[in-house]
Amino acid sequence: MSEELRALRVGVLGCGQISQAGHFEACRKAMNAELYAICDVAQDLLARVVAIHAPEKAYTDYDAMLADPDVEAVIVAIADQFHVPMALKALEAGKHVLVEKPMGVSVEECEELRDAAGASGLVVQVGTEKRFDEGIAFARDFIREEMGEMIALKAWYCDSTHRYTMTDALQPVIEASEKAMRPEGNPKADLRRYYVLGHASHLLDTTRFLGGEIEAIRTRLVEKFGAYCWFSEVAFAEGSVGHLDLTIKVRMDWHEGFQVYGEHGSVIGKTYNPWYYKPSDVECFSERDGQYHRTLGADGHFFRRQVEGFAESILDGAPMRGADAEDGLAAMRAMVAMARSAETGEAVRPSEVKGGV
């Protein structure tokens, strides 16, 4: 790690739920980053959050934070509809960007951000923090280095009816404000869209992280008793098959995981609700030694590990361990393909979709 630039000076845009539960603490605990500035239009919320986290600077005006030459990088932690415009502004101001997932709300705007990222020479990372789950990273290393050819992958992400009871117990008290800036209309008015953007963004990123590029997806959506179930049949490159399960309001505990079958071994993973900060339990069976392999994964602070990885890429030029702009765009394409397929029943190729979910 560079000696002169040990701590990346980060400005966080947005003092909402995800910043309070994840990013502020992550920046403060990171070994190579600091919570230098925070920004929110809601003055009352900003004041309460400043009292807790004591950054060097606090801004109600995003342009003023971007004009601060000491801010080196921005975490864009605001509503999905604002991600791309505010990330583009940060790049124009010469700041590196960690943008929350989903990268944006349409293929075209994600392409614009991907292009701007490439032209800027700055680091753009998308906040799918599960790539920093040591269990999932262990599975990916095994798949790449030992498993040989993949034949099939199953992955499931099922949000529980009991999750708020759990997250209320696990997260800090979340401050809120009537003055918070929200996108026009009610994002929850269309729950299908809201759930795909919020949750399929994780499922599809983990699927690509472990299984590689998705060539086509055929989805069936069933809605019953207030629950939503998207079952998808996936074709990966090189003829491998996949089955993805996105179920929202499943009547049980948080239920997330994956199974991957390969030529020289197989992988089974159980992922916990992220706010437990407990890495996935992963077992990789290897034909090489006839043994199951697992990692302890003692460091379960995915959000801290994510910002540390982001800072390493900026300060030390380390290869990005998170999702880059191409990954963010690919996840957006896969989300749109899943939504289109659920409407028509036809298989849809992510490479051919346009528009939003």
Question: 3-class SS at 223?
Answer: strand
The two structure tokens encoding residue 193: 């869209």
CB 331 within 8 A of CB 339: no
- Only one residue has tokens 């086509």, namely 216
Centre a 10 Å sphere on the Cβ of residue 89 and count the other Cβ atoms it contains.
Answer: 17
State the minimum distance, in angstroms, from the CB of residue 342 to ligand NAD: 20
State the minimum distance, in angstroms, from the CB of residue 106 to ligand NAD: 14
Question: 3-class SS at 144?
Answer: helix
Element (H, E) at 152: strand 150-160
State the minimum distance, in angstroms, from the CB of residue 235 to ligand NAD: 27
State the minimum distance, in angstroms, from the CB of residue 205 to ligand NAD: 10
Q: Which is nearer to ligand NAD, 84 or 147 (CB)?
A: 84
Q: Which is nearer to ligand NAD, 3 or 178 (CB)?
A: 178
Q: Which is nearer to ligand NAD, 41 or 320 (CB)?
A: 41
Query: What letters, b where the CB count within 10 A reaches 16 and e where it falls short, cover 18-46?
Result: bbbbbbbbbbbebebbbbbbbbbbbeebb
State the minimum distance, in angstroms, from the CB of residue 128 to ligand NAD: 7
Contact residues: ligand NAD, CB under 6 A: 13-19, 39-42, 45, 62, 77-80, 82, 86, 100-101, 127, 129, 180-182, 198, 274
**Which single residue brings its beta carbon nearest to ligand NAD?**
16
**How far is residue 149's CA from residue 138's CA, in Å, rounded to a whole number?**
17
Q: Which is nearer to ligand NAD, 24 or 236 (CB)?
A: 24
Q: Which is nearer to ligand NAD, 103 or 282 (CB)?
A: 103
